[in-house]
Every structure is written in C-alpha cells, then in structure tokens.
Structure 1
C-alpha cells in the first residue's frame, strides 16, 4: 500500500503591495518547480493576509482490495474537508476586520493562503513563497510584486510550526501558532518572535489526569503519534499517571508517515496496533497525535476488521486530545463510527462568533475567485464532480453548486467554529489590533489625519513585535485577549462527548471544561449526566481496572512482576482497617477508636474505670465497708474489755494501733474506686503502703514481744529491760518511718498522676492512675514484703514457745495468709488490664487485712464474747495456745 499525504497548515501573513517592478531581467527564473505546486487562495488588498491552510489528503493507489472488504474504496486524492474551516475562519476574520471602521480605517486587508502538504520540503518552500513569490517560484528573490511581510500564523502542529520558524526567525517575522504545544517545546527552541494563539498543552495533561481520576479509570492504553511530539507527550504524561495511581496497559506508536507498503508494513502495523488493542483488558484508551495519525489509526482498524464495532471486546472508551479534532477524509465517510460512540475529547475553548455560520452558508463553489482549495473541498465533501472534471464518467453525481454545508456530517465539516478555527480568528484580530496600535501611535506623535496607508507601507515586520507582545483587545464574542510574559494567549479547553447516529453522522456535546484561570482544585469541571456512553456499557461509565476494586476491610497487594495497578485483595491484619475501596494499605484507628468486626471502620472506645455503680465496684466497696465495720466492732470490744486479761496480754496499745491500722487499710481501698483524680492518684498508693506498713510493723512488734517475754523468763538474762512499751514503740516507729520516707521521696521525685491508657485494651479507654515512677512503686511493695517476711519468719520460729500468752502461732497463720496474698498479687496485677488491675489490688488489700483481722483477733473475740468465763487470769494461765 502506498499512501501520499498533503497537509495544509494555516499560515497568516500581512503584506503590503506597493507597485514595485520585478527584477527578473537580471536573474533567470527556474523553468520547473522541484515540488508540486500547492493549492493557493489569493485575495489582494492594501494589506495582504496570506496563509497555509490545514487540509489533509490521502492518495491511494497500487492497492489490491480484491481480497478485502474495502475493495469499494475509491482510488484518488482525499482531503480532510473539516479543516477547510480553518481557511474560512481566516477569510471571515479578514472580512470582519475590513468591515470594522474602528480598526485600520481606509485600509483593506487581503489574504494569501497556501498548502504545505504536511511535508518538510513543502513547508519550507511555502514559507519562502510567502516571503518572496506571488505567482512564480523564485526562492530568496523578489519577483513580480514586492511584499512587505508583517506576521505569520501557523501551524497546527509543533513540528510544522518549528519548521516555519526556522526561516521566519531569520527575518524577525512574528509568527503566531494556533496549535496546542507542550510548554517545554514553547521555550528554548523558538525565537522571541514566536507567539501562541493556542492553549498550553500542560492544561490538557491536567484535564486528562482529572478525567481518569473522576471515573476511576486506573488501567488505560495509549496510542501516540510516532514523532517528537508523541515522544514528549509520553515523557510528560507517564510520571503524572504514575503519581496518580494510573497504569498504562500498553503504549503503541501510530506512524505519522504517509508512505508504506501493504505487503510488508501493514501486516506489522496491524500486529502492533490492532491485536494488542483487541486483546487488552483496558476499557479506556487515549489517542494523542495529529489528524493524519488518527486517520491512519482508523484505516488500520478498518483494514484489520471492517466489522470491529460488533466485537464485544471492543467496548472501550476513547479519549482524544485536542490535536485530533475527530477529522476524517471523505474516503472514510461510508465507514461505521459506532465504535467511537461515547468518545471523550478535548478541544480548544471557543465561543460562537456572531455571523460566522451565516458566512459559511453563503459560500458557493463558483463564487470565490482564486480559491484553489474550494474545488477539491466541494467535490470530496459532497461526493460529486464539477462538469468539466475528467472523472465525471466514473461518478454519477454532478456538483450543482446548490449543495448546503449544513447538510454535511460533523466529521467532514462543521458550521460551529472549532477550537483551532477560533484560535486562527483570534490570531488575525491580534495582528490587526497590533497594526492598529502602531497606526494610532504614529498618528498621535505626528498628528497626521490621513495617509494612514502610506505610513504602514514603511513598516518592517520586526517593528510589529513590541506592539503584538503588549496587545490587549476584545474580539467580537466579548472575550478579553492578550499575550502573557511567555507570549501565550491563555485559553482553556472544552471537554466534549461524541455522539454517533446510524445515518453515519456525528454530533458533539460539551460536557465540561479545563479552565486555568480559576482557583486551584476548580480547574476541571465535568457534568457526568450529559455523557452518552456506548450501549454496551448500559448507560453507565465503564470500569477500566487491571484488578477489581478491593472492598473496605482489605487492601491491595501488588502482584510480583506486574505493574502496581495489578494486585490481589488481602484482608487487613488484625487491629487495622480500610474504610475505602482500593486502599494501598490498611491503617490503624485513632487511639480512641477500635476496628469494627469487618475491619471497614472505627468505633469509639468505651471509657473504662472501676466505678462505684458497677457490680464489681459495689461488691468490693461493700466488702471494704463490712470489714471496716467488723474492725470497728472488734476495736470497740477490745476497748470495752480493755481491763480483761486477754486484752491486756501482749501490749494492749499495740493491739489498738493494729486495729486502727486495719480499719484505715479497709477504708483506704475505697480510694481506688471511682474515676481517677489528681488527689486520689496522688494519695492512694502512699496512704495504703504507709498504713499497711504500720499494720505489719505492729504484727512484727507483737511477735518480737512474745520472743522477748520468753527470753526474759530465763535466769540472769538482760532481756527484762526490753520487755514492755519501749521495744514495741521502737519497732513500730522505725518500720513505719522507713516506709513513710520512701513514699515522701516517691511523691517528691515522680508522683502518681491521672492517665489515659488507649493501648492496653482494644475496645476500651482506661482511666487509671499512672504510678509515675514504677521503680518507686515496686520499692514500696518490696519493703512491705520484707516486713511481712520478717514477721512471718519470727512468728514461725516463736510459734511453739512455752508461754501462756503466746500469740505467735496466730500471727504465723495471719502472716502466711498475708504473704500468700501479696506473692500472688504481683503476677496477677501485671497480667490484668484496666479496672480489673485495680480490682486485684483492692482485693489484695482486703484479703490480707482480713487475714490479719481474722487470725489474730477472732480467737480473742471468741473468748471475750462467747466464753467470758475463760477470760480470767487463772483460766488463761492453764490454757495453751
């Protein structure tokens, strides 16, 4: 297959035509042009606006379609008739300017439009034509008429624009490109005379990312034109996609060349483009490139399978960039476009220009003298031929000239001004307003009322630059336009939705926009309800994911060796949650919350402390009060029978102190109940430890008293002087003061304080008293344990002493219980959490205190109350304890 393409890129020139003689008499003009003569459209005027139109043509020949469903294809040149509107937008802008008496009065603008064939050689030749030629080709030579070139507008692609700039920059001619370029391509490689009437491509990249994120399309394919622009687009877009969690399933290059061999190249292109596209799991694909690349892509798809619209695996959403503009040749008019139903594409923002559609409707094929484009456009747009055409014999329909442009489908021609045409329209007005500013400036300085045209005849192109750079004007649509510091005419993008119909017509609907001149976060707006999707999507947006969404309660686990968009869904580990779909990782709940059963959310934790209102608190408080009451009764009984032998035995005062200490111990346990506060936390451990140490000291004093009394009965011993209050008082005071000193140091260094524990229990927030210094806490417990051990040891050794008033065996039982309770307290205390830890400490206080009270005082109370006859000296001296 051999395809040759001609692409016409619009270039607008302002020229002045004074009567200058041709200098051909001294230079021999070439007899034959090395390249085909391009299409031209010439309309003279005082100021001439010339240009190169954006029209694409295919020449198909040497193709054997006998074995292919496309055998009915017509062999001949084909034009992208839709881009003829670019030429007409130029003509309309020129005529509108000529009718406006406020801009360049008494000066008539003309235009000169040429074709570049989308070929580098033709682009350079056409640019030279506009500089030095009017009717015949004389490169770098003034022949026929002298032209004073003022400015150039073109082209639509970055490659064509840079090729034009290579020549124009040498002559310091301002150039206005109306395509959408990448920001990096706008700088560095271009001359300071290069301007941009189209939007920055960075805005389009932003719109693509926002669009994909809006519909959660995370697995997409990409077709990009195989040239520098496509390479740069991939270089910029791939990092943006990755940063936003979007993966590319495939990247394929679409050739922008127009010569290939069917037997060799087409098969390779079909394998590289059609088959991967057909087999891809991605339901969304993007197309970036120029119209020629899109037309080639469409041809590849059609040649591979003319019925591809019916293949279910092709139910995909297409996203096209502004450069494509969904333009096809008349060759493709008979093809089915249902495949492109629901396509979303970007276009340069445009407002409807008043009078433009009326201007288009008035165009007739015989009414435009010098228009070299119109014949080809009319024949191919309406599928007819002029009466003088040599091909009339092969076609049944003759062009009548009464055909109506509004009857053409949207892919062949649009009455609505497209984004590129709107940029051309604004570029023409920018140049016209810059010239008007020059004229006004000179008139003000020289006070010249007439002869304006003479003044502009002397203008050099480089003199337009400062006025063009600072120009600010309103077009007929009411838009305020100007160039910024980067010589860019800031413009946004419209987001369009393509709707196809069975009669092979297409219609586009505006569904959103990308506006750079708004606060951050509001650049992209889309109305999803206005989108018409393919019927295979059941009126809803397609999902394009490599893996299904991970539901809340699970997270993504990347598959080894694959892209990060391909993953398995794994349940969250214990203690973590994922509250949204497709989360990369699970997260912990805040410290005051805990995961739900399905691990898809967090629940506020309950506040937990041992209160007086709950059953456990009520039980412990009741036991503490009951023991306190019993202790009070015992103390009252001992006071009442204080003169009886059994009370007077073994130091009555120590007995009273022990009972008081036990009473206070039982009551101090109540300080551990209720919500912890500063005062209770500050006092509870210290008060408890001091009181308990006092009680144990009293028990130890009683035990030592028994031992001292026994030893004092031996003849010649010196222990008699220690028997009595002096010994017991010293023991009680010394032991208690040591514990008190430890507690004072604790409170001074790092006292206990109210604290919140959010980590120990999953579903509860524990309100507790933090010990402050854990070391001091265990020193206090250790000292109390030391006293208990000494008391137990002494009592155990003295349990069988032959003394009538011996209490040692009862003290042994009581201290055995006391030590057992506190030995089991430490591991139990450390293994429990929350209010149960407090309950263990209260229980240990009550149990150890009850052991002392019961073992030491219950036998005596039994005698005092139930067997008073035994509470005599004679009876006691005969009893053995």
Structure 2
C-alpha cells in the first residue's frame, strides 16, 4: 500500500500501478519499452483485470514467488521455501542496522526489550552478538509476553527506570508495545531513547498522546523510501468519476469533510449543515501528512517486484535456442512456460529500476538491507512526524554503511544534546580501563598509566611503555622525543657559573699583575716569587678550565676537561708543596742544629713541580690511550629527559688520577701543618695550611654531593667544587699579601719580613 507517515491512505490498485507503468513507457529504448509492456501485461492478467484463466493461474504462481512485504526470516530457508523471493529485506538484517546505529552514537550500555516469539528471541540473540562484537554490552534484556501481562509490564518499566542505560532497543510488534508505552508514559520516562525496527516505528496506532511524548526523539528503521516516476501525478489526478471505487469515495468524504449526494447511509442532517462533494476538489490541497504522495515505501517494493518479473520475462523471450539455461541449452516458451522456469529467470535478474537502484536477489532470495533511519519528532502544535535523518546501506563500502545528518535530529526534552548511554564514563586522557571483578566489560574503573607509559591506541585497557629515547606527552596519549639536557650557556645556571669563572680569572690576573708590578718588594720576593707567579697562572687556568664543563659534551671536550682539570690542579698543589718545602728549608738554613740544612744546596723545590706534574701527565696519557672519556646519552639519569654527559671510560684510571691529586694535597697539608709554628714574622705556611684545609674540605664535601645529583646538576656541582677550591687557594694564600701591598705598604719591608723591626712584631 502507499506508505503514509500519519494516516493510512487508499491502497494502490492494479489500475494505479498500471497507470504508473504506462507513464513510464515514454522511453525510446526498445528493450525498456518491451520490459514496460511485460509489466503492463502482468497487471492486465492479474485476477482483478479479467485475463485468461490459464495465464492468470501461471502469473498467480509467479506472484507467490515474489513478495513485497513479508520479512519473516524463516522464508529465507530455501529447503522449506525454494520458490520464495522478496523485494523487502529479511527481518533479521535489521539487527545489523540497529547494532551499527548504536555503535554510531557510541552507546555501549544498551537495554533490549523483545517479544516472546520466535522473531523476538532470534532478534535478541543476534542483537546481543552484534552489539558485543562492536564493543558494547547489554545492560538488561526483558521479554514482553505475547499475551498482555501487566505484571511483566510493571517489572520491565521498573527495570528501565533504574537502569543507567539510556538507549533501549524494542524488538517487538506494535501490539506488544502499546501496554508498555502506556505504563512508561504514566511514569514520565522521557530520558530514554527508544530504538526500533519497521514493525512499530512508523505506526500511527498509539491510542494516547502521552505515549507520543514518551516516544519523542526515538529512532527507528523503515523500508527505503523510493521514487516511482509519474506516480505522484497519478495520485493527484484521481477522481471518483475515473475510478468507481467505494474506497475512493469514502476517502474523498474523510479528506474533504463532505458528503456524496447519493450516500444514503450518511446520518440525516439539516441540509444547511451538509457540504456536498463535487468530485472536483483538489487533492494537492490536502496536508501531506494525510495524503502522502512523497513517501512510497511498500508501494516501492511492489514496483520493484513487478519489474523483477518483467525483466525475467524479457530475458526468457530473448533466450537463444541452444544457448539457453536449461537442459541441452534449451529455452522456455514464454507463452507456455513452467513456473520453475520463470523462477530461474527471476532469481537471476540484475537491473537498475526506474529510480536507478540496483535490483537483484541473493542465494536466499533476499535483497540487500537498505533502510531509512527515522527520528520521531513531536511538534509544538501537537502533531508528530517521522523525519528521515539518514540511511543504512549494507552494499556500501565497509565503514560507510551508515549515514546520519545529526543536525536534523531532535532528542526528547530530557536531552538537549546527544544522549550518552554508558555503564562507566570514558576514562580521562592517560588513564586505562580496569575491568571490575564480576562486572561486564563496559563497566570499569580508570587507572592512570605509569611513568613512561602511554595509553595503547589500539586497546584502551592497557598502557604501553615508550621507547627509551621517548617520553609521554602531558596527556599520555603519544610518545614524544625526550628533550636533550646538558649544562648550557643559554640557561641561568650555566651562564652564572661561566661569569663567576671569568670574574675569578680576571681577579687572579689582577693579582698576578700586582705581583709583577711589585716584584721587587720583599713580600713578593719572599718564599720564591717565581713559584707565586706559577701558582697564579695555574689558578687562572684552573678557573678557566671550568668553562670546558659547560656546553654540549662531545668526544673532544670529554677528553680535555678532566685531563685539563687534573693537570692544572696537580701543578697548583705541587707548587704549594714546593712553597711549603721552601719555607721549611729556609728556616732550616738559619738553624744551625737542623738536620735539613744539608739539603738546602740541592734546590729540591725546583724539581718538585715538574716531577709531580709529570707523574700526573703520564697517568692521564695512559688513561686517554687505554680507555678515554666519551660523550654518551644517559636515558635513566632524569625522568623524561636525555642527559648528554661524559662517560669517564676507565673508572680505575680516573680514580687513580683523582687519587694522585688527593695524595699531593694530603702531603702539602701535612707539611704545611707541621711547619705552621715556625718562628717567622710572616709565616706563609699558616696560610698554606688554611688553603689546603679549604681545598680538602671542598673536595671531601664534593664526593657525596656529586653522587647524590643527576644530570646537568652533577656537572654544576663539579664546576662549583673547582671554583670553590681555586678561590680558597687564591684567597688564603694571596689575600694577606695583597692586603699588605695595597693597604699597609709600610709592612712590605725586609725588616718586617725578617722580624727585625720590633715595632711591627706586635701587629
């Protein structure tokens, strides 16, 4: 029949379909005209057209083979129904469309209500399988008994109210649904989205308006709305004078609120109150909701069935003897064929209908699923309608079967936006799903991914570790390359240490210049002026060597900086040792009882510096040639960062280099400490003792600090130790001399240095 959104209209008779076919006969293509003729002939032979009894019987057999409305899944069983074909899809196919619709809206927590019938049970089983295959879960499944049971209805409504599921699939007929919807409307359940198939979604049989309010915003499937060329014009051209059909006159009276003069059954009314029908009323003035000439759903299926038979007859007629599909290449006689012969041709038709849609039957005699998706909308004036918001085409490429226009959807008053139907809210970024024991997979807890892990893009229930050279972003969704870290001149710490190093170097250079200018004064000449120059130069290089520790490490800088540091500080300590021994030997030369007096003439201090330094140089050469330092990427030093640092190569040789400096420092400290009380007015061994105590304290403190830091802070600690120890030597040894040279020049005399000026002894 003609599909109507709101009210049922007159069914298309054979005359109507015949007229539409004739209107389509304007094609100039001979084959198309012949097919149209077969379609007309088929209608002319229909029982109500009065054709020959034999031909009517044969066509009647053909009619039983092609159905336009029977969607019962069992009819696809070719063992039981070998000659049954249909232009409407198998009802079980709706399950796939409903499951895809649920998936499209990301509804993972879905309730199912099905009727207690074979169709309902099989539909429920298929729905459950498809929804779970798509990653969803069934919140509940309730069965509506075929015989109305209010106890079951009350129980189901209570389950629906308490469930977190917003999307409810109702897989049943309108007869089962009415009592359930009446009870749901009494409980004002408007926060659910009801989904259904063609069995009830386009029905106008609900008796109460509050049911329409409950169903407002629902989604449903309907047979595809097709176009039949010329059929709308025919429906508008119908006149009672053309068709002497009682249904036409009855429709005319209901549509135009008039009465036919010859209608004797109409109640007697005052003649002034009667509007008489003239038969000239215009059908195109009727509301399309009442007389719908746009939506042809099952009528379209009839149209396809007619042309399927017509194409089969056309192929049968064009069969070439000897090349036919039957035994020995024979063909069927189109005027005297058997039903099974026509069935063969109908099964194998494959053509495009007048709307351009491809028509064919699969092995089960079914057509592919192609349905419209409708949205049940309640309008402010109290009327309601089914608005097409999309379609589902099973023949479309994978992933493109469903198409929906979201801007056309109107949800129920309980939802201003697209509803959400989930058991657990989606996990925030960087969190994985943790299944709750005893619950379905859609009910879960959210746990953050561990450090260095991101959420698996293919499985949101697990986290995966980033590669060693990468680290998660802030949302833990992807791995980004780790930032490379080293102590650079561009950052505050690196630039500050570099400035301090340069400033101390300049300060040392100024002291050196002062000593050069005052080189002939007693206080400069005391304790070997040349050793003082050498010590100041070594300290300048000591301050500058810390610059080699700043910047991006490479093979050259890693080899140079530790060796430079070791050699320079070995020179400094050996100079201090030489100065200390010089003081001791000078005192011994003035003491006739000293056993060291014999060594004064050997000039031992001159050999101390080169010998001690050469030992360190030899150790460094062995270190560089056997296992030299090199730059490496440390992935584990700091979380989320790659630290470029110098690997010292051989830890044993590196320890020997540092240990040798420690031995020199210990000897210098011991000698200076033993000579600290020598009876001299300006006893430099006291200042050397203080300087070596500072030096030792800095490097003893450096060891735990160095071991407890990571990354660029380790390098900063080492630079700080170099600067601190160098500054300690500079201040403790040279500050007293600079103080006398600049502020008390009267003390810079031979008498004061030798202690012969009594006046200065008390200072």
Shorter-chain TM-score above 0.5: yes
Shift of the 558–109 alpha-carbon distance from structure 1 to 2, 3 Å rule, reads same
Asked if the contact 2:523/2:749 (under 8 Å) is kept, the reply is no
> 1:856, CA displacement in angstroms?
3.5
Asked if the contact 1:153/1:178 (under 8 Å) is kept, the reply is no
Residue 159 (str. 1) matches residue 73 (str. 2):
yes
Query: What is the match of residue 827 of structure 1?
Result: 704
Query: What is the match of residue 296 of structure 1?
Result: 176
Asked if the contact 2:376/2:386 (under 8 Å) is kept, the reply is yes
Q: Residue 202 of structure 1: which of 48, 73, 96 is its match? A: 96
> 1:285, CA displacement in angstroms?
1.4
Shift of the 97–783 alpha-carbon distance from structure 1 to 2, 3 Å rule, reads same
> 1:319, CA displacement in angstroms?
1.4
Query: What is the match of residue 269 of structure 1?
Result: 152
In structure 1, distance between residues paired with 2:96 and 2:493: 69
Q: Residue 225 of structure 2: which of 328, 350, 357 is its match? A: 350
Shift of the 473–335 alpha-carbon distance from structure 1 to 2, 3 Å rule, reads same
> 1:236, CA displacement in angstroms?
4.4
Query: What is the match of residue 194 of structure 2?
Result: 318
Query: What is the match of residue 868 of structure 1?
Result: 748
Shift of the 549–754 alpha-carbon distance from structure 1 to 2, 3 Å rule, reads closer
Asked if the contact 1:364/1:401 (under 8 Å) is kept, the reply is no
Shift of the 473–871 alpha-carbon distance from structure 1 to 2, 3 Å rule, reads farther
> 1:849, CA displacement in angstroms?
0.7
Shift of the 677–728 alpha-carbon distance from structure 1 to 2, 3 Å rule, reads closer
What is the 5 A alignment of 1:674-685?
683-685=560-562
Q: Residue 784 of structure 1: which of 637, 653, 658 is its match? A: 658
Query: What is the match of residue 735 of structure 1?
Result: 616
In structure 2, distance between residues paired with 1:619 and 1:539: 59
> 1:439, CA displacement in angstroms?
1.1
What is the 5 A alignment of 1:808-823?
809-823=686-700
In structure 1, distance between residues paired with 2:451 and 2:506: 49
In structure 1, distance between residues paired with 2:322 and 2:16: 30
Shift of the 232–743 alpha-carbon distance from structure 1 to 2, 3 Å rule, reads farther
In structure 1, distance between residues paired with 2:346 and 2:600: 121
Q: Residue 111 of structure 2: which of 211, 215, 221 is its match? A: 221
In structure 1, distance between residues paired with 2:624 and 2:81: 94
Residue 283 (str. 1) matches residue 166 (str. 2):
yes
Q: Residue 441 of structure 1: which of 294, 297, 319 is its match? A: 319
**Offset from partner CA, 1:665-716 (integer Å, 9 cap, x none):** 1112233446767765664444334433443344456567778999996389
Query: What is the match of residue 660 of structure 1?
Result: 537
How many pairs align? Answer: 706
In structure 1, distance between residues paired with 2:622 and 2:15: 104
Residue 799 (str. 1) matches residue 673 (str. 2):
yes
**Offset from partner CA, 1:717-770 (integer Å, 9 cap, x none):** 8998693544542222012331343255554xx512588999458xxx78x641
Q: Where in structure 2 are there 5+ consecutive unaligned residues?
A: 26-32, 257-264, 268-276, 325-330
Shift of the 375–267 alpha-carbon distance from structure 1 to 2, 3 Å rule, reads farther
**Offset from partner CA, 1:146-180 (integer Å, 9 cap, x none):** 789457124633434146x44442xxx36235223
**Offset from partner CA, 1:527-546 (integer Å, 9 cap, x none):** 33323333x33755445455
Residue 337 (str. 1) matches residue 212 (str. 2):
yes
> 1:222, CA displacement in angstroms?
1.6
Residue 499 (str. 1) matches residue 382 (str. 2):
no
Residue 103 (str. 1) matches residue 16 (str. 2):
no
Residue 509 (str. 1) matches residue 387 (str. 2):
yes
RMSD: 6.0
What is the 5 A alignment of 1:563-642?
563=440, 565=442, 619-636=496-513
Query: What is the match of residue 120 of structure 1?
Result: none
TM-score calculated relative to the size of structure 2: 0.71
Asked if the contact 1:153/1:424 (under 8 Å) is kept, the reply is no
Query: What is the match of residue 85 of structure 2?
Result: 175
SS in 2 for 1:455: coil
Shift of the 715–296 alpha-carbon distance from structure 1 to 2, 3 Å rule, reads closer
Q: Residue 473 of structure 1: which of 347, 351, 365 is its match? A: 351
Q: Where in structure 1 are there 5+ consecutive unaligned residues?
A: 1-52, 56-79, 115-133, 136-141, 184-199, 383-390, 394-399, 447-452
TM-score calculated relative to the size of structure 1: 0.63
